[in-house]
Amino acid sequence: MIPFRSQPPQPRLREGYQLLHQATWEAEELDHLLLECGDRPRGAERWGLVLERSAWHLAIRNDQDRLVGFIRATSDQALNANLWDLLADPADPNRDEVIQALVQAALSRLRREMGGCSVSLAAPPEALRAVTKAGFVVDPGGIRAMGLNLTEPDQA
């Protein structure tokens, strides 16, 4: 359960970093960030579908105008909201701050737009500190989430 009423204030990003709402992205840039984070690229068609089916997305650009962070939300607009693709460039020296800013901004927006929803988040291990600080409970009551990757593994 997330204590929506008692969230910490939105962290400030370092000078030159900017949080962007609903910006238009090139698939190559998003795929590059996925690759940097150890995931597979999706391609333009799949990214188009993913973003079209998302309620919204947020991103962070660094002082060199490079995409260094991304998160998106889906929701049934009634009871549930899910945060996906929490990505932060491992090479960015402010990665922890980028993750924290993305999580806090996403939760702030969910509070405003869908305050009654339960929220789930798919996050990498390096985001654990930021998500627990934001109020997420890891494996509440011993319940663990599972995922299934429906793409075929690469043939060696």
pLDDT per position as a tens digit, 67-100: 999 999 999 988 889 999 999 999 999 999 999 9
pLDDT confidence of residue 4: 47
Which secondary-structure segment (H or E) carries 61?
Answer: strand 56-61
pLDDT confidence of residue 146: 59
Walk across the sheet containing 56-61 and list its strands: 18-21, 56-61, 67-75, 80-88, 118-121
* pLDDT at position 2 over 60: no
pLDDT tens-digit readout, 16-36: 999 999 888 889 999 999 999
Query: Predicted confidence band at 49 (pLDDT cuts at 50, 70, 90)?
Result: very high
Provide mean pLDDT across the span 40-58.
94
Phi, psi dihedral angles at 61 (to 5 degrees): -110, 145
* pLDDT at position 152 over 90: no
* Structural domains for the chain: 4-137 (3.40.630.30)
* pLDDT at position 6 over 60: no
Helix axes 43-52, 27-36, angle to 10 degrees: 100
Provide mean pLDDT across the span 34-46.
94
pLDDT confidence of residue 67: 96
Alpha carbon of residue 39 to chain centroid: 14
Report d(CA 97, CA 13) in Å as an integer.
7
Report d(CA 58, CA 111) in Å as an integer.
15
* pLDDT at position 153 over 90: no
pLDDT confidence of residue 7: 56
